[in-house]
Amino acid sequence: MSIDFENELNEAQREAVTTTEGPVLVIAGAGSGKTRTIVYRLAHLVQMGVDPSQILLLTFTRKAAQEMLQRAESILGRSLHGTSGGTFHSFAYATLRQNAMDIGFDNGFTLMDRADSENICKEVKDTLKLGKGDRSYPRKNTLLDMVTKSRNKELTIEAILEREAYHLSPYLDDFNEIADGYRQFKREHALVDYDDLLFLLDELLEKNEPLRNQLQTRYKYIMVDEYQDTNLVQARIVKYLAGTKGNVMAVGDDAQSIYAFRGANVANILEYPKIFEGCKVIRLEQNYRSVQPILDLTNEILKGATTKFDKNLYSELKSDRLPRVVYPLSDQTQARLVVDQILDFKRKYMLHDVAVLFRAGYQSFPLEVALTRVGIDYQKFGGIRFHEAAHIKDVLSYLRLVLNPHDLLAWQRAMDHIKGVGPKTVAKIYKAMHTDDEKYLAKMMKKHDPLKELLVELNKLRSTPARPASVLESVLAFYQPILIEKYPDDYPKRQAGLEQLSQIAVNYTDMELLLGDLSLDGDPEEEKRKENAVVLSTVHSAKGLEWSGVIIIDLVEDRFPSRKAMQRAEDLEEERRLMYVACTRAKEQLMLFVPSSVFNRASGMSEPTLPSPFIMELPETVYDRLNESYGGGLEQRRRPAASRPSPVFEDDPIEEPPSNPKASPKKLGVCEHKIYGKGKIIAYIEPNKYRVNFFGFGLKVIIGDYLKFL
């Protein structure tokens, strides 16, 4: 049975499938048929007469490998029995089992799961007598996280803390001791964790030349999927298995490398042609998912990347509708406008074919409340649902008690942080409060200071009725030390969710209504339904998926890109790739929301924002701009007669950046930007933009009003 390359594959895919000798790198743009290309190449190799046992397919999930092999078998009409297809970890496990003595395990070894590893970290901590009496001491899962992140990124624990968890820095010495103890414990008990599988195989292949030669001889054709997601040790393993001139094909997209937090290193794919001599680079640029106007916008996003493989996605799917960039007056009105847009999409699409994407899980909280209020079902992926977050439940328990002192469940939650006060004691305290047993209450308050503080705070809040936002303000001040003590490992992240709760409360004058909207839990069984429920998802969780209508929210600095990412050039580049991934999820319609102000709880006011640099860089030719009017609707302003120039709007309600008298046209030299710092102006772009090379961040195109000329 011959394979129909002509009708089943485009020209670039055919080239990737039929180039079987030597190193190949396939840069597969979003929606370009990456899996189809791998499947047809598998089938083509076997049809050429290659023994299936000489093929090694490495993927990131077992399911992906199985699907590819099954599809290849379907094309061929025969079995691919003998082909080694699976994850890096499964391949490493099988190889290490056969060579256990060579890695120092004369009697074999036992592979641990995550729970085993966490328990060993705790045992090591207890043996070393660390954290005794410290209620804020990092939990066992956090101890393991620090150890595994350090290994996978091949950085010191100190570097990991500095970048990702600075609030845990006081425990640096303890983390290092536990990491050493964990390593020693595993070795003494012939135990291996998932990280060890890769690093032991790496060490084995480096030192055991006969085994390396044997594997290179056996696997004459190697294919690696999602190469942009490999970490340093995985890239080394591929190199050892293939040699520098082997028949190895890596498939991936540098522009979709978004897992640095797991250890993925984009340099692996960028430097692939240098590592493998004579490498042929093939670009898959025809997109089968999105209409061309969406791709025009995503191509512009990629233009700003400092290091990349150039690619220009195109599609035969046409549309007269441009993506839309929407400027709500504030993040508080953004949720309402997004709900309006979802209802508009509902007229054309099933709700499960509509997605709202965001950078961090907490950013969807106001939208979750708004959707619940109007009765629109939703499913959330990545980040916890608003009403399920433990710290949100904690704070709501206080609000419930201000409103209803008879709420036993709220009392149990509110006293959860008090040491020595369990459910039975809570029940006794509850009974004493409602039978005026002042003697028992006085005894318990004397014994437990936090209980006294809690009761005093609640009495104070009940005695001075105020707007929900004011009550919440007092509750959050009271709760802050409890938050830090109760959730020491990740309280900074949880803090962002509490800020969103404050923002939601500002819109309410009635506490009962606020609690009603916040406490409306969906039926847990409903979560299993995929039909007719809007998808809310972080961008990371959305990778590999697609929807007809996609809305991306909070496209302002400090939210997307995140505040952390603005501090390091490589992190900002990853945020750009996240933006690209988000936009390429859309098949027919794409809407980008850029709130013009964000509520600041500290000041009690909305403060102006800077649009995301990824929005600022977009030429006005690739989108239509809509502004929220003071009346609450959306207005698309009239354009001048010229073909899609920059949007000059009459009576634009959006606050424009302040005029900059130094921003004279075509002024070159040195300038300064609030986020990127100092840079050298390379070129002036009509009517008021500058291409600037920022030290540490590379080339950016910035509106002149946001630059200070030095």
Q: What residue numbers does the annotated binding site for ATP cover?
A: 28-35
Strands 689-694 vs 698-703: parallel, antiparallel or unpaired: antiparallel
Structure tokens at 376: 């629109």
CB 429 within 8 A of CB 415: yes
- DSSP, res 619: -
Report which secondary-structure segment, H or E, holds 638. none
Of the candidates 231, 273, 219, the one whose C-alpha atom is nearest the C-alpha of residue 250 is: 273
Long-range contacts of 559-567 (CB under 8 A, 24+ apart): 559/359, 559/360, 559/363, 559/598, 559/612, 560/358, 560/359, 560/612, 560/614, 561/359, 561/612, 561/613, 561/614, 562/359, 562/360, 566/675
Tokens 């047809």 correspond to: 40
CA-nearest of 354, 327, 399, 355 to 541 is 355
β-partners of residue 593 are 326
In angstroms, the CA 637 to CA 299 distance is: 25
Stretch (H or E) spanning 360: none
User: What residues are designated binding site?
Assistant: 28-35
State how far the Cα of 494 lies from the Cα of 509, in Å rounded to an integer: 25
- For 389, the 3-state DSSP assignment is coil
Asked whether 335 and 372 are in contact (CB, 8 A), the reply is no
State the SS3 of 176-245. Answer: HHHHHHHHHHHHHCCEECHHHHHHHHHHHHHHCHHHHHHHHHHCCEEEECCHHHCCHHHHHHHHHHHCCC
Task: Give residue 500's identity as a one-letter amino acid code.
Answer: Q
Query: What torsion do the CA atoms of 531, 536, 540, 544 make, to the nearest 10 degrees?
Result: 30
Give the C-alpha separation, 81 to 73, whole Å: 9
Backbone angles phi, psi at 661, to 5 degrees: -60, -20
Structural contact between residues 374 and 561, judged by C-beta atoms closer than 8 angstroms: no
- Element (DSSP H or E) covering residue 83: none
Distance CA 270, CA 258 (A): 14
What is the side-by-side order of every strand in the sheet holding 354-358?
378-381, 534-538, 354-358, 547-552, 586-593, 324-327, 624-628, 634-636
